[in-house]
């Protein structure tokens, strides 16, 4: 029987992993299945553009994996049983319906969603851009706003900055504000920080620094101390959280709920399970957890797939780089910042800004999109066979 590899999630991490595994492992020995809740590949890094009304073309996963040998199952993951090595799903888009299926190796890449932090009113009244459905919901609401409508973006991280600047540039008829718990761009180098503030000034974005939001209501947000900030629309971008499925399954997780993994992205508690992307609690080369980001998804996915392939084929597991190099921040369509960081994740004095940084960010987005559209990068003539036959009852090969 073939070794069953199941990949949960088809975001940047999951889609790339499935294609890489299909490219390098022989279909005579392996069966690769991807489970995803929606039929399209969602470019999460561009959802703030979709929300403000820009038209984006999404690739269907059926087209992405056509001809690769990867099986696609459109369903929502509801549970994982690592002891029985099964995955439970519901709402399947085919005749299989609800149920469960087995795996021999599992790559968990379900990503993350918005972190509400228990703030009253966020679940009921706030919007976010962490998923396709939520971005489309926000798009509909913004389209209803006329001139002078107020939008408050909560959170001074990358998502908050990109969302506020994109909205202000695309809809100058709206009044856009950003609420920051600390100082805007405090983590940037001085020159990059000034560039950021100049961009906010140019776009007319009001910044409320040192302002923690304690409640969200239909037409306003309430800050610490009772200050009221008018907001026809509140966009919540105050961090990310992982789905509780991993913790509920009995896998060892960190306090964040992310799966605790070793240097090869293998679960510390269950050797048949690997994690990649936002759901992996991976320690970088600086001995600190990698941030939840598209870049981290790339590093952890390359390491996880390399480890799976090596162990299944009896090879030495290679070590891929796990170093955070910096951040690319779009400031609308015509401006951006590229901030490099050192080994301690402190911003270097040098940064790139303006049109050049915009072209660089655009190249990164296009490159990510191309890699997903060509998940196997062209099938090689020879793909690797497994070292031994799969052992369904006990240990995996080349452990």
pLDDT at 391 (0 to 100): 45
Write down the H helix ranges in the chain. Answer: 12-24, 47-51, 61-64, 122-125, 132-144, 158-170, 190-203, 245-249, 294-313, 355-373
Give the sign of the dihedral formed by CA 146, CA 137, CA 276, CA 23: negative
Of 194-198, 215-219, 325-329, the poorest mean pLDDT is in: 325-329
Percentages of the chain per state (helix, strand, coil), in multiples of 5? 30, 25, 45
pLDDT at 399 (0 to 100): 37
Confidence of residue 244 (pLDDT cuts 50, 70, 90): very high
pLDDT at 393 (0 to 100): 36
Q: Can you tell me the distance from the alpha carbon of 355 to that of 352, in angstroms, rounded to the nearest whole number? A: 9
Inter-residue contact 292 to 29 (CB < 8 Å): no
pLDDT digits (tens, 9 = 90+) for 71-118: 999 999 999 999 999 999 998 655 556 789 999 999 999 999 999 999
pLDDT beyond 80 at 396:
no
Confidence of residue 374 (pLDDT cuts 50, 70, 90): confident
pLDDT beyond 80 at 55:
yes
pLDDT digits (tens, 9 = 90+) for 279-291: 999 998 888 899 8
Confidence of residue 395 (pLDDT cuts 50, 70, 90): very low
Token readout for 28 is 């005579």
The mean pLDDT of 341-369, rounded to a whole number, is 86
What phi and psi values does residue 201 have, to the nearest 5 degrees?
Answer: -65, -45
pLDDT at 392 (0 to 100): 44
Phi-psi region of 261 (alpha: psi -120 to 50; beta: other; left: phi over 0): beta
Confidence of residue 379 (pLDDT cuts 50, 70, 90): low
Q: Can you tell me the distance from the alpha carbon of 122 to that of 76, in angstroms, rounded to the nearest whole number? A: 24
* DSSP secondary structure, 223-267, as one string: EGGG-EEE-SEEEE-S-EE--THHHHHT--B-TTSPEEB-TTSBB
Give the sign of the dihedral formed by CA 63, CA 68, CA 74, CA 75: negative
Inter-residue contact 48 to 235 (CB < 8 Å): no
Nearest to 235 by CA among 145, 308, 358, 353: 145
């Amino acid at each position: 029987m073939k070794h069953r590899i199941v990949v949960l999630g088809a975001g940047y991490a999951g889609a790339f992993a499935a294609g890489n595994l299909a490219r390098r492992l022989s279909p005579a020995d392996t069966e690769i299945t991807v489970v995803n809740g929606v039929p399209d590949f969602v470019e999460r890094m561009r959802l703030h553009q979709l929300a403000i009304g820009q038209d984006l073309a999404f690739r269907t996963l059926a087209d992405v994996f056509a001809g690769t040998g990867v099986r696609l199952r459109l369903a929502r993951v509801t549970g994982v049983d690592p002891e029985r090595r099964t995955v439970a799903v519901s709402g399947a888009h085919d005749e299989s319906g609800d149920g469960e299926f087995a795996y021999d190796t599992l790559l968990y890449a379900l990503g993350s969603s918005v972190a509400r932090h228990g703030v009253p009113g966020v679940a009921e009244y706030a919007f976010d851009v962490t998923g396709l459905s939520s971005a489309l919901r926000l798009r509909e609401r913004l389209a209803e706003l006329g001139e002078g409508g107020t939008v408050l973006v909560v959170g001074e991280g990358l998502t908050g900055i990109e969302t506020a600047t994109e909205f202000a540039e695309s809809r100058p008829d709206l009044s856009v504000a950003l609420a920051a718990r600390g100082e805007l761009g405090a983590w940037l180098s001085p020159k990059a920080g000034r560039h950021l503030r100049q961009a906010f000034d140019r776009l007319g974005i009001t910044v409320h620094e040192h302002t923690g939001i304690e409640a969200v209501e239909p037409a306003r947000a309430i800050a610490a101390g009772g200050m009221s900030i008018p907001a026809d629309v509140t966009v919540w971008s105050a961090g990310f959280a992982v789905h509780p499925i991993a913790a509920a399954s009995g896998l060892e997780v960190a306090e964040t709920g992310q799966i605790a993994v070793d240097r090869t992205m293998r679960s510390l508690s269950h050797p048949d399970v690997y994690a990649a992307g936002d759901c992996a609690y991976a320690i970088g080369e600086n001995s600190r957890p990698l941030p939840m980001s598209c870049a981290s998804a790339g590093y952890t996915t390359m390491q996880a797939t390399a480890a799976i392939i090596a162990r299944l084929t009896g090879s030495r597991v290679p070590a891929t780089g796990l170093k955070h190099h910096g951040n690319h921040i779009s400031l609308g369509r015509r401006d951006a910042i590229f901030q490099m960081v050192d080994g301690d994740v402190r911003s270097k004095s040098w940064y790139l800004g303006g049109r050049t940084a915009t072209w660089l960010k655009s190249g990164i987005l296009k490159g990510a999109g191309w890699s997903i559209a060509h998940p196997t990068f062209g099938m090689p003539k020879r793909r690797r066979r497994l070292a031994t036959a799969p052992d369904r009852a006990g240990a995996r090969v080349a452990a």
